């Protein structure tokens, strides 16, 4: 049988392309958070589980939520961690092409002050230097909303958790915000701090931004406090770019739950990665591949 020169060249090009890829799945770009933070740690563990199953993964260290969502929208990342309020804003306000794989665990908003501070509530932040979190972080979004809900003002400083701790101890700031699991290891070792209650602001936040904010309580004994501290809670999501292939979204979601004991998510509601909790992602639509995984679980 004869074959045209054009057909032969097309066949050779196709064969070369197949040989170059070796049939391997494309590299997954996973945007996490800063070194030492919960997203960074959880992301490294998830990446290790995916690699164990033959999936190539590149972990991208970031400032976390807001930066991660921008990277998904402009195609620099495939999967990422984010706070629910930042994700809600990305979809509902900015109409970014983002989908959800899972609602993961509850984050507690920490307003941290020195133990001898006169700050008793968010209204007392007026006129003070306050770190609201790193630029591009979800903590910074939440903190700014909490301060606005308290109808007060403050001088904002944008520092990550470690730098916020150093600045507080050095007297360069009088308070800082952090959103994370309880206890947050970097705070648990400190003996000279306390948390300021924020829970009365939950109804105000919900009226403006919806159910991404919840009532939450830091238990007594955490961070040395004798009493429980009522505060604001907002979940973490694992999200992806809307155009992520369905099979890959299915694989990531399946791996997340299959390896949940090894991932060691923070001790918080949802931290055990329950499937029924995971599908509650609000206005952020579940990716079709993730939905297929949940249907396979429920039958």
Last residue of a domain, one of 234, 255, 284: 234
Q: Which residues of 99-134 are buried (b: 16+ CB within 10 A; e: fewer)?
A: bbbbbbbbbbbbbbbbeebebeebebbeebbbbbbb
**Whether residue 60 has pLDDT greater than 90:** yes
Domain of 193 in residue numbering reads as 107-234
Domain co-membership, 229 together with 254: no
Looking at residue 290, its pLDDT comes to 98
Give the residue-averaged pLDDT of 15-21.
Answer: 39
Domain co-membership, 241 together with 222: no
Q: Which two tokens stand for residue 12?
A: 């050779």
Determine, yes or no, domain membership for 20.
no
Domain co-membership, 142 together with 216: yes
Determine, yes or no, domain membership for 12.
no
Q: Which two tokens stand for residue 119?
A: 């700050």
pLDDT in tens, 188-218: 889 999 999 999 999 999 999 999 999 999 9
Determine, yes or no, domain membership for 124.
yes
Rounded to 5 degrees, what angle do the CA atoms 161, 176, 218 make?
A: 85
Domain co-membership, 141 together with 52: no
Domain co-membership, 196 together with 251: no
Residue 230 CB-half CA count within 13 A: 7
pLDDT in tens, 142-193: 999 999 999 999 999 999 999 999 999 999 999 999 998 888 888 988 999 9
Q: How confident is the model at residue 133 (pLDDT cuts 50, 70, 90)?
A: very high
Mean pLDDT computed over every residue of the chain: 89
Phi (first) and psi of residue 213, to 5 degrees: -110, 140
Which of 172, 167, 137, 132 minimizes the C-alpha distance to 152?
132
Asked if 241 contacts 211 with a C-beta cutoff of 8 angstroms, the reply is no
Domain co-membership, 229 together with 260: no
Domain count, the chain: 2
Last residue of a domain, one of 184, 211, 234: 234
Asked if 82 contacts 157 with a C-beta cutoff of 8 angstroms, the reply is no
Give the C-alpha distances (Å, rounded to integers) separating 181 from 105, 110, 253, 264: 8, 10, 21, 12
Which residues, at least 6 apart from 212, have a Cβ–Cβ distance to it below 8 Å? 84, 85, 88, 234, 235, 282
Domain co-membership, 41 together with 189: no
Last residue of a domain, one of 234, 255, 274: 234
Give the residue-averaged pLDDT of 276-283.
Answer: 92
Domain co-membership, 264 together with 285: yes
Whether the predicted model's global pTM rises above the 0.85 cut: yes
């Amino acid at each position: 049988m004869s074959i045209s020169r054009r057909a032969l060249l097309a066949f050779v090009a196709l064969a070369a392309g197949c040989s170059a890829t070796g049939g391997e799945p494309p590299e997954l770009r996973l945007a996490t958070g800063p070194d030492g933070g919960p997203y960074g740690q959880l992301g490294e563990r998830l990446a290790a589980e995916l690699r164990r199953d033959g999936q190539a993964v590149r972990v991208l260290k970031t400032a976390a939520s807001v930066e991660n969502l921008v990277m998904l929208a402009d195609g620099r990342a495939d999967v990422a961690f984010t706070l629910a309020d930042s994700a809600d804003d990305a979809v509902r306000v900015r109409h970014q092409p983002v989908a959800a794989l899972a609602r993961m665990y509850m984050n507690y908003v920490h307003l941290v002050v020195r133990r001898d501070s006169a700050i008793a509530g968010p209204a007392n932040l007026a006129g003070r230097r306050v770190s609201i979190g790193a630029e591009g972080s979800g903590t910074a979004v939440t903190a700014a909303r909490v301060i606005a809900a308290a109808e007060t003002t403050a001088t904002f400083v944008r520092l990550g958790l470690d730098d916020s701790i150093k600045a507080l101890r050095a007297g360069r700031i009088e308070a800082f915000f952090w959103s994370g699991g309880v206890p947050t290891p970097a705070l648990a070792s400190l003996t000279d701090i306390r948390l300021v209650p924020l829970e009365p602001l939950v109804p105000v936040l919900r009226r403006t931004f919806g159910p991404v904010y919840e009532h939450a309580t830091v238990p007594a004994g955490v961070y040395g406090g004798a009493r429980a501290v009522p505060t604001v809670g907002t979940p973490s999501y694992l999200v992806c770019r809307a155009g992520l292939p369905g099979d890959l979204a299915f694989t990531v979601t399946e791996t997340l739950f299959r390896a949940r004991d090894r991932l060691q998510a923070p001790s918080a509601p949802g931290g055990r990665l329950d499937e029924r909790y995971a599908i509650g992602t609000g206005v952020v639509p579940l990716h079709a591949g993730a939905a297929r995984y949940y249907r396979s679980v429920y039958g």
